Structure 1
Amino acid sequence: MDIDKFKNPGIEWRGKPFWSWNGKLDKDELLRQIDIMKEMGMGGFFMHSRTGLETEYLGDEWFELINACADYAESIGLEAWLYDEDRWPSGLAGGIVSRHPEFRQKAILLEIDPVDDGKDVIAEFFCDLDGVVCTNLGSGKQTLRFSVIEQGASGFYNGYTYIDTMNRAATEAFLKSTHEKYAAKCGGRLGKSIKGIFTDEPHRGALLDGFSMYRDDGAFCAPYTPVLFEEFEKRFGYDLKQKLPELFLQVDGKRISQVKWHYVELLQQLFLENFAIPCKEWCDKHRLSLTGHVLHEDNLTAQTAMSGSVMRYYEHMTAPGVDVLGEHNKNYWIVKQLSSAARQAGKKQLLSELYGCTGWQMPFAGHKAVGDWQALLGINFRCHHLSWYTMRGEAKRDYPASILHQSAWHKEYSHVEDYFSRFGLMMAQGKPACDLLVLNPVETFWAQVHLGWSKGLGLQDEHLKTLEDKYRKLFTWLLESQVDFDYGDEEMISRLGNVENGMLKVGCATYKTVLISGMETIRSSTLRLLEQFAAAGGKVVVAGNAPEFIDASSSSEFPVSSFESVAFSKDAVLSVVPERQAVVDAPDIFGQLRVTDDGLIFAALNVDRDERRKNVNVRIKTNLPVAEFNCETGEVKRVQELPASNGWKTFKTGFPKGGQRLWVASEKFLSLVPVDRVTSSGEGKVLDGPFEFKLSEPNVCVLDSAGYRIDRGDWQPEKDVLKIDRQIRKEHGVLRRGGEMLQPWFTATQPIKELCDIELRYSFEIQTMPQWIDLVIEEPENFTVTLNGNLLDLSQTERWIDIAFHRVRIPDGFANIGNNEIVLKTPYRENSNLEAVYLLGEFGVQLSGAVRNIVPMPETLEMGDICEQGFPFYSGAISYHIPVPENARKICLPEIGGACVRVNGQILGWDPFEAEVDGELAEVDVVLSRRNTFGPLHDTERVRPWNGPDHWLTEGAEYSDAPLLIPSGLLKAVSW
């Protein structure tokens, strides 16, 4: 391994965020933001239309800006990538395709005992029903009617629907309306300054799940395409129409159904043949890499509900990917599925769309934790979700945080990118030491779908819940024991699998052992190959119950005696898998071993973010000297080895909370002097304060509730300004703003409706007059603004945080001691935005319930939450001037309320938050998140699994009039 490359990886290993084009785009501002991305350590970007886009999507100006950004990126050494849709999912070209009815997504609808005559009816049956169990089919008392319906229209699809991705003509229309335009407008840039294109969340429609827009209860719907019945009979030899009750229900209580299995297999084939493959062929023809991910990979349930087998889709992408939403979504197996298919198909670049829905509050430690396990399992192409062009209007609630200049920590973010570029580079070296194949049991789920089996991707079927649980357990048992493995998709195995020299080969990967677990049906093609493998000396093990069905049919019996059987338990499984070549003697440590021409690479990760692992034994089977590669600092140090034993190198280390270690065994490190890892000990001396401090930005007071009146009527009591906005839209029958709003560029193609005149009255108290106060508002050109009846001049403003925020100085004498009122007036139109306003200044802020009080700024800060010390809404950085006790050598910050810290200029992003100090004073800069400024400030569930636009408009018990804040600042510090 080249140490210089490790210290300074190239742009191919650096992140490429989703750059949200979500406003009225300006070339100079776009180019400025590209410079910022480079300063943040990024390697490029995806140009991605998002909620709030005002520049016409796929219009002439759009392509001019695409080309300008691609050219500029190339000139400064970054990569530019396209995104193939207006928002997502890919396929409708912002409504251009689905405005044609023949291309819209459709479904088969089941109605039980319908009362009307019906429309587009396929078939009717009589039966008796007990829940989902159907008996007396053909002679019962209840009616089952099946018909074809169209997906409901949505503002998210600009008033249309999603497309039928199983219809080749719809895909061709998509390619013509989008890809061909890029080919015509971007010319020779494709494959050069424009590296590739991202396709996002295509799917073939929800399967009996309820996650659907067909009708209120989508659980009664199954995907349909016009050739469905014809192709089903052609490929499987019987008429699906006559089997529709068995597809939707459990006929005579039968759980496993070949009809269900055949149906989902057909959906998979049509989805691949008519969408995935044409898109890949187009990209290959135009020298573009195709990346992205399909919809809902999180578990076997989600995959069955929306796509089938995601592993089979990965074959048809240049750089296949996944998305991992939220900060605590530990769906490890989806990346393992991806890396498995990639290994078998020979693909080297693996993408993850990560950090979406995490909220402003996620710290660098969260960025590391979310990315670490993915990098360990093979992700080397990071797509950050999201980096906003602007925060104007609804755009500011499009799944923050913005991983760009709007976040106070953007100047420190290169620390994160340097770390992951090194980690990704190392995990792409050599080949995995992986001899175990685990059959992926997703088809067992296919064969058991039924009405209500899942609801909105939440599994309802108790039997299938046990299978999901076994799937998770098996993964965890293996990875926490540092046993690497690949998943095997049965259809891929049928095409790519063969037996060579006693090994099972699947495409580019080979295996010594195959493990079957959690499968209730298995393909006959899989069985034949495994029997050949076993006969050639290969090892096939069944953990737990063997499959009872072959090809989802009970007509054949699984050959139990042909293979080894063990109990479904951790110890039993570990006793039959291939011998481990690297071991960490501690719980919750995932590991991956790779073999290179020079030796070995072993990476290990503590997936526990709450507990450290101290004094841990690590053993690697090698005779080569071992060095630790520090991905955070770029340092390389030889480890202090314990006495060798039977060809194993043994040494001790510690793992911080969520800590990662990476070692390389190679002759290259023979000359390095072994170094012990230095770790802190003892509790140290607690540093209490008070401390002198300095802010990086003016303090801020958020005013997000207002009294209001409409069309000069009576003034109404104060209310959350976003709820006022929603009320106006509801009263005038206009789609509300939010994640599913009509795009501004689309709205502008039609006459803009004028709805009413609105006045907003924001109030605040001043106890002591500060030297100066600034007001920040959005869209000053659309408002007249008065303070206590004095008209403000909005003709000259400055930028604050984002181009959307306009800052104007309040003249002396406009504000008063006591109560103050800011009144905004505007004609409210269909494209209007009512938003919070902000006060800036050298003041403190006290909260009395929902009332904001301007008070003097404190002279010092105590250790602890700054929200209680005059800074409830502040979100910049705070520099604490901390006296260092005599003889102290280190300072440790075990609790911070912020994204990261700097100690005397050294960035600390995650545990253990330790830095050496030398001198009498330490400058500790806590860089905060923007959460206490931009919210959500009124959501009573402060820590959600994920954050979305609706969490700014919660209701009832989930809403608080008074702002709810998260602790911020320096919460605890010790020295020793």
Structure 2
Amino acid sequence: MNLAARLKNPLNKYRPIPFWSWNERLTVDETRRQIAEMDKAGIGGYFMHARGGLQTPYLGEEWMDNIAAGIDEARKRDMGAWVYDENGWPSGFGDGRVNGLGIEYQQKYLRMDPVGADPGVRPEDEDRTITVVAGSDGQRLRFHYEVNPFYVDTLDAHVVKTFIETILDEYAARFPDDLGKALPGVFTDEPQVSRNGIPWSFTLPGKYREAYDEELLPLLPQLFSPVDLPTGEGEAPAEPCGSTPSAVTAARREPRPPVSYKRTRYRFWHLVQELFVTSFTQQMYDWCERHGAQLTGHMVLEETLLSQVTSNAAVMPHYEFFHVPGMDWLGRHIDPPTTPLQVASVAHQLGRKQILSETFALCGWNVSWEELKWLFEWQAVRGVTQLCQHLEGYSLRGIRKRDYPPSLFYQQPWWDKYRAFNDYVSRLGMLLAEGEVQFDVLVIHPQSSAWLAFDNGKNDGIHELFQPFLDVTKTLEGAHVPFHYGDERILARHGEVELRGTGFRTCDRGASFPACGLRVGNQLYFAVIVPPCETLARSTVELLQQYADAGGALVWVGGKPTLVEGEPSAELPALAQRGESVPDCTVLETCLPKQAYRLSVIDDHGAEIERIAATHRHFADYDGRGPADFYFLANADNASGYEVVVRLLGKSAERLVLETGATEPLPFTREVNEVAIRHTFAPMDSLALLVYADDRALPVAMPALVAVPAKGTEFLDLASKATPASVAVPAECTDSLDSASKATSLDGEWELQLLDPNALTLDYCDFWIDRKLIAENEHISVVQGRCLEYGRPVDLRLRFPVRAAWDFDPDGELYLVLERPDDFQIMVNGAPLTAHDAGHYRDTSFRKLSVKGLLRPGRNEILLETRFAQSPAVYEQLERAKVFEAEKNKLTFNSEIEAVYLIGDFGVVTPEPFEQLPRHALRCPGDFLLTRAPSSIPLADLVQHGLPFFNGTVRLTRTVTLAADEIHGRRFRFADMRAHVASLSVNGTSVKEWFWRPFEANLDGLLRPGENEFVLELTNGLRNLLGPHHLEEGESYAVAPPSFYKEPSVFGCAGQWNEGYCFVEFGVEGTQIA
């Protein structure tokens, strides 16, 4: 079966593999049920991920029974049941088993403090002193290490080996026949060296001496201060912990030659890089190789030069030792592009087809499918092929619903439609993974220069280094020049100069062919760019010399490096004179060989549209008819659309419809050996094209273009948030101004039917502890913290007021929803609630109890009483969580106090008007009233008309009378959608479902003279039910646990609070028949 046929229904190996958060008491039956849900939704596998809230003992028998069930279901369904290597994150501490072995195994940070002039004075913690030396001003400096007892020393190979034996060997012993099959491999998550300054390891002095034949201890001041040390003798304590006696003796007696601080910093961080790669990542990779398994996951803080220094030294060298290298992307924003480009560069160079991204964490409960698509496509156009959704919650009970939402799982009202999204991203990922990558330009990555500028303080020099590097990156992207980064360690291991001849691919772009290329594994480059940097590795200099000697195209941008591995070098000035030099990025593209350009995306004035990113893959045979080139273009702009002309090498082209996997003709013109395609990108839009070297595809007529108002949304971190007044779109997709009178507006009231119950979140209450009134009308998030302050079991009473209007129907369907109702005594208006469990609502832990007939117009109250108690282990873990995130990330409470909900047949109103906020949000002061459910509602505004907390599907009906001459050539459209899914039926016939733009449908053959019934169904998400409701900023695009708390908690400082309620809009606007 050829690729085109397989694209219709991609194999599971190309499909998303979400984080499946195991955060509750696990049962085999529930585990199997949830896997069936994933399979139904088009998900290809799952990472079985222990996470905060887990109540099943980690790695115990019950845990392993559920792992076995996960593997068994994967085997039956041809899915992948991946194990996650830790309880919580970051990976490496083995659920406390490894760091619990003692100080030799624990993470350490290097600290420097001035001490008194008297050498006999020692601090109380003398045993953690490494050395005492004289600083440049004569001040004696004490260097010591600080211990983090809750993580591990990842620079020590023995420590990592212990971690592997503790965790991975357990799985290998239990499931030896499944590794590499139904259990494909292991996810490792954010292993790190330090996120708290310069790292230390007991191995460093010896490893430094072994690597450089030099003592490290006398040079430690240079890691903090930019001083070159004069000749002199270092001083050290008699027996510094973590150093051998020989190291101390040498530090005392040997005179030090003048040493450059830049050389010391280069050597130190290069050593940290080598130790971390070989001790952690390579050991993990080797274990997987021995067991026929695959290693995937991602490093921490991959984004910038500065973020990488202490956490990893450098991230790119690690990707060599992942079978499926990965990254993560948090929140509803884009930029900088360095993160996906780094991982994709190494993957393409070393032949890794799949590139994983853990993404969508912190996007919040309201993130739309269009936004999810936009975020994934922004990464995919830079190389990512496989989606790991963060996350799917086994449960939403308690803290679990606040775990960096959303949970993209069965709890969502739109879950039954979710396969369409997963099919889409799977097709895109499959094409990017299976196609041949041919990029011509290599950019040397300047991470080693960041090492020289890091001083554990302001680190200003690194900021000055990163921006020019980012400028080079964005200039090439904006000019649509495909390129990779070259990591210096990867270049040293896999780089070589290749002369013209065997191995060169045919130049099909009409330019003179270069004399040589620089090969890095599978990739061959014809131009090398050196961005502004201060130092290069000696191996890099030698490789560039060979490349320049062979006639390679070498381009220097801005300030040239002056150092080799942190020291002046005689070879570098001569090399820096080779090739071309440009002062900045403004003329960079003119220095590149013509063959570096594979496509152009221009406006009518010939200017490249920088916000449209593009990538290319080649297929030797796409559909059984010969070669094809796949191009994918994505608009990074969330607010603006662009009319463009795409120019590509080839003779004919088709559009590839990723929603179905089919192709469709499109208008194009041919000019010599190029095709030109005119296309209008909506905000967050994309375009997939197949281009052929023959005439197999025929063009269709080019549509006329007219201007229509542009609609968009606002996101974080965009260079421009302005919304243009208009954007050009094909005339067939809009009414021309001349025929505007033919459009029939459908805005206004529509008949309303709720296909899910309405809801009211009760999150403010009065509460008593041990019969003492603590607060009135206080937010529920405060209650847990107040109870924890007692440090012992307490009796807790909660009183939730509920107000109902005179037209409220007490005999309508009505349920109280709460978590673990058996833990509470419940009274409604003074009467004990004796109702039986009526099933679950959204999450299986949200239990329904009927309160039909128990509420009345006027004031009502719901009273809950419980014994709040935590085990001593919980209190101990709360203290540990204050020190390091590993303990917080696996925190589990015994008792949790949460909001409760009313659901049923009612409306919810507030006497005060709503305030319009940015990001399509609304705020009202609260004081909600239950009313009779609305029977009709404005299509553009459901929230303000009785449905502020609603989550689910509404059915909206409108009858439209049309004359006989009005039923032909009509289209249904709306300007914008504030919902996750919309579907339309006309006169009983299903017409279309929408998840993203364009919001239109052809009505040919569906209309009739007289009355026509339009039925529109809209489905939203859980945001208006679960919040966060009370952030001062309104709708947040970086939602984390603290976003839900009024006061500081173990999860961090609370956001700025507003007692009012923030909701997001629900509805569609600008609806018409045109």
- Between the aligned partners of 2:210 and 2:96, the Cα distance in structure 1 is 33
What is the aligned partner in structure 2 of residue 17 from structure 1?
Answer: 18
Greater Cα shift, 710-719 or 654-663: 710-719
Q: Deviations over 1:773-804 (max 9, x none)?
A: 21001111211100111111254331111111
| Deviation of 1:386 (Å) | 0.3
1:172-251 matches, within 5 Å, as 172-206=161-195, 212=196, 221-251=197-227
In the TM superposition, what are the counterparts of 1:337-348 in structure 2 within 5 Å? 337-348=342-353
2:1023 aligned with 1:931 = yes
Query: Which amino acid in the other structure matches residue 999 of structure 2?
Result: F
1:510 to 524, 532, 542: 524
d(CA) in 1 for partners of 2:187, 2:353? 17
In 1, the alpha carbon distance for the partners of 2:124 and 2:140 equals 12
Shift of 1:278: 1.3
- RMSD over aligned Cα, in angstroms? 2.1
Show the counterpart of 1:422. Answer: 427
Structure 1 position 554 matched with structure 2 position 635: no
- Report the CA distance shift for 1:781/1:570 in structure 2 as closer, same or farther (over 3 A): same
Return the offset for 1:187: 3.4
Q: Deviations over 1:247-294 (max 9, x none)?
A: 112226999711111111111111111111111111111111110001
SS of the equivalent of 1:175 reads helix
AA aligned to 1:792 is: L
**Shift in CA distance, 577/702, structure 1 to aligned 2, threshold 3 Å:** farther
The structure-2 alpha-carbon separation of the partners of 1:256 and 1:932, relative to structure 1 and needing over 3 Å to count, comes to: farther
Q: Do the aligned partners of 2:288 and 2:294 also contact (CA within 8 Å) in 1?
A: yes
Matched with 2:487 is 489
Matches within 5 A, 1:267-416: 267-416=272-421
Cα offset, 1:117, TM superposition: 4.5
Greater shift, 951-960 or 499-508, is seen at: 951-960
Which deviates further from its counterpart, 59-68 or 921-930?
Answer: 921-930
SS in 2 for 1:452: coil
For residues 3 and 92 of structure 1, the distance between their equivalents in structure 2, rounded to whole angstroms, comes to 45
Q: Write the deviation string for residues 793-822 of structure 1: whole angstroms up to 9, x where unpaired.
A: 25433111111101011152x322211111
Distance 1:892 1:574, change over 3 A: farther
Identify if the C-alpha distance between structure 1 residues 43 and 409 changes in structure 2 by more than 3 Å, giving closer, same or farther: same
Shift of 1:728: 1.5
CA contact (8 A) 1:46 1:82 kept: yes
Query: Equivalents in 2 of 1:4, 1:673: separation in Å?
Result: 23
SS in structure 2 at match of 1:242: helix
Contact kept, 8 Å, 1:777 with 1:805, in 2: the verdict is yes
Is 2:896 the counterpart of 1:833?
Answer: yes
Aligned to 1:640: 667
Aligned position for 1:85: 86
Counterpart of 1:958, as a letter, is Q
Task: Establish whether residue 650 from structure 1 lines up as the match of residue 647 from structure 2.
Answer: no
Matching of residue 789 in structure 1 with residue 803 in structure 2? no
What does the per-residue CA deviation read over 1:197-242, in whole Å, with 9 as the maximum and x for residues that have no partner?
1011001113xxxxx3xxxxxxxx4111111011111102221111
AA aligned opposite 1:7: K
Does residue 707 of structure 1 match 2:747? no
Deviation at 1:378, TM superposition (A): 2.1
Contact 1:103 1:170 (8 Å CA) reproduced: yes
Structure 2: stretches of 5+ with no match in the other structure = 117-121, 230-258, 500-515, 604-608, 621-626, 704-729, 737-742, 871-893, 912-924, 1048-1053
| Structure 1: unaligned runs, 5 residues or longer | 128-136, 154-160, 207-211, 213-220, 454-460, 733-753
TM-score by length of structure 2 reads 0.82
| Number of the residue aligned with 1:974 | 1072
Structure 1 residue 126 displacement after superposition? 4.0
| 1:674–1:9 distance in 2 versus 1, CA, 3 Å | farther
Offset, 1:41: 1.6
Q: How far off its partner does 1:688 sit? A: 1.9
Q: 1:911 aligns with which of 997, 1020, 1023?
A: 997
Instruction: Kindly indicate whether the alpha-carbon contact (under 8 Å) linking 2:267 and 2:565 is maintained by their aligned counterparts in 1.
Output: no
Q: After alignment, is 861-870 or 270-279 more displaced? A: 861-870
Give the drift of 1:723. 0.8
Q: Which of 534, 539, 545 is residue 559 of structure 2 equivalent to?
A: 545
Whole-angstrom CA distance in 2 between matches of 1:86 and 1:540 = 48
TM-score, normalised to structure 1's length? 0.90
The alpha carbon displacement at 1:935 in A equals 0.8
Deviates more, 1:821-830 or 1:863-872: 863-872
Could you tell me whether the CA contact under 8 Å between 1:896 and 1:926 is conserved in 2? Answer: no
Taking the aligned partners of 1:42 and 1:229, their CA distance within structure 2 comes to: 48
By how many angstroms is 1:116 displaced?
4.2
Identity among equivalent pairs (%) = 29
Larger Cα-atom Rg: 2
| Cα separation, partners in 2 of 1:811 and 1:930, compared to 1, 3 Å | closer
CA distance in 2, matches of 1:535, 1:833: 69
Match of 1:144 in 2: 141
Q: Give the stretch that moved more between structures: 343-352 or 252-261.
A: 252-261
Greater mean deviation of Cα atoms: 168-177 or 401-410: 168-177
Q: Which residue pairs with 2:974 in the alignment? A: 893
Are the counterparts in 2 of residues 543 and 573 from structure 1 also a CA contact under 8 Å? no
Counterpart among 736, 743, 757 of residue 698 in structure 1: 757
Q: Which moved more, 1:899-908 or 1:99-108?
A: 899-908
Alpha-carbon contact 2:1035-2:1064 (below 8 Å) kept: no
Alignment of 1:831-910 (within 5 A): 831-847=894-910, 849-884=925-960, 886=962, 887=966, 889-904=970-985, 905=990, 906-910=992-996
* Paired position in structure 2 for 1:468: 466
After TM superposition, the structure 1 = structure 2 runs for residues 12-51 of structure 1, keeping only pairs within 5 Å, are: 12-51=13-52
SS of 1:239's partner is: coil
Distance in 2, matches of 1:255 and 1:954, equals: 51
Partner of 2:649: 621
Cα separation, 2, equivalents of 1:121 and 1:81: 43
CA-to-aligned-CA distance 1:107-132 (integer Å, 9 cap, x gap):
211224579444311122344xxxxx
Amino acid corresponding to residue 909 of structure 2 in structure 1 = Q
Task: Tell me if the contact between 2:78 and 2:182 (Cα under 8 Å) persists in the aligned partners.
Answer: no
User: Measured at CA, do residues 971 and 94 of structure 1 come closer, stay the same or move farther in structure 2, by a change above 3 Å?
Assistant: farther
CA contact (8 A) 1:885 1:975 kept: no
Aligned twin of 2:717: none
Provide the rounded CA distance (Å) in 2 between the counterparts of 1:358 and 1:772. 34
Decide whether the 8 Å contact of 2:305 with 2:462 is kept in 1.
no
Q: Is the 8 A contact 1:603 1:661 kept in 2?
A: yes
**Is residue 449 from structure 1 mapped to residue 487 from structure 2 by the alignment?**
no
> Could you say if the C-alpha distance between residues 939 and 326 of structure 1 is closer, same or farther in structure 2, counting changes exceeding 3 Å?
same
Indicate the larger mover: 575-584 or 254-263: 254-263
How far apart are residue 49 of structure 1 and its match? 0.8
Distance 2:262 2:745 in 1: 65
Mapped partners of 1:290, 1:480: distance in 2: 34
In the alignment, structure 1 residue 589 sits paired with structure 2 residue 612: yes
Give 1:564's aligned residue.
Answer: 580
Contact kept? 1:846, 1:852, Cα under 8 Å: yes
Corresponding position of 1:107: 109
**One-letter amino acid of the structure 1 residue matched with residue 338 of structure 2:** W
- Quickly say closer, same or farther: Cα 1:352–1:646, change in 2 above 3 A: same
Q: Distance in 2 between matches of 1:117 and 1:603?
A: 63
Task: Count residues with an aligned counterpart.
Answer: 912
SS at 1:264 equivalent: helix
* Cα deviation 1:581-631 (Å, max 9, x = unaligned): 2211141111112222213222211111211112x21111123x2221111
Residue 744 of structure 1 corresponds to: none
8 A contact 2:153–2:193 mirrored in 1: yes
Once the two structures are TM-superposed, the CA of residue 180 in structure 1 deviates from its matched residue by 1.0
